């Protein structure tokens, strides 16, 4: 027997987070409108953004409370046996063939990134990739003594 949800439904946490975000966003927005501070525009934008982010929690709460009858759910999650016709057998054969081919290709070449890291060269190219060290210097207007003359 399934539990009966009353009131807020299954996702009460998401509901209360949405309410808190709405209240906090409205409070910050109204502070920006009615309080005389030099950063009022920041408060107005922050309040609007917080209210916008509360939509995420409202969507979570709503989608968590959608009820799907078990009869409709059985087809989607594979609880009913699939009806195999002529095309069902063909689909299974194609799936087996594609699995076999992908395994062969992955065994033959390994992963492309892995082969590049192991060999130090691009997959299929014969040339070796070498590292190049690059020296970087900082240009300043101050006079800095060379490193040898700095006190240790």
User: What is the residue-level pLDDT of the chain in tens, covering all 152 positions?
Assistant: 566 777 778 888 999 999 999 999 999 999 999 999 999 999 999 999 999 999 999 999 999 888 877 777 766 666 555 565 656 667 777 888 888 888 887 777 655 555 555 555 555 555 666 778 888 777 777 776 666 765 65
Instruction: Residue 114: count other Cβ atoms within 10 Å of its Cβ.
Output: 11
Using CA atoms in the order 48, 51, 52, 58, what is the torsion angle rounded to 10 degrees? -170
Residue 144 CA to chain centroid, in angstroms? 47
**Distance, CA of 114 to CA of 106 (rounded, Å):** 11
Across the chain, which distance is largest between two alpha carbons, in Å?
86
* Domain residue ranges in the chain: 12-65
């Amino acid at each position: 027997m399934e539990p009966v949800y009353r009131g807020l439904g299954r996702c009460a946490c998401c509901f209360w987070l949405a309410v808190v975000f709405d209240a906090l966003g409205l409070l910050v927005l109204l502070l920006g409108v009615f309080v005389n501070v030099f950063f009022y525009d920041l408060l107005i934008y922050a309040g609007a953004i917080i209210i916008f982010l509360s939509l995420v929690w409202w969507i979570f709460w709503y989608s968590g409370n959608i009820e799907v009858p078990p009869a409709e759910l059985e087809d989607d999650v594979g609880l009913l046996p699939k009806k195999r016709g002529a095309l069902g057998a063909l689909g299974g054969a194609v799936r087996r063939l594609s699995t076999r081919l992908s395994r062969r290709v992955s065994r033959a070449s390994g992963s492309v990134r892995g082969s590049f890291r192991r060999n130090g060269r691009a997959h299929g190219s014969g040339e070796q990739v070498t590292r190049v060290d690059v020296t970087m210097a900082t240009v300043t207007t101050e006079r800095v003594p060379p490193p040898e003359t700095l006190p240790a």
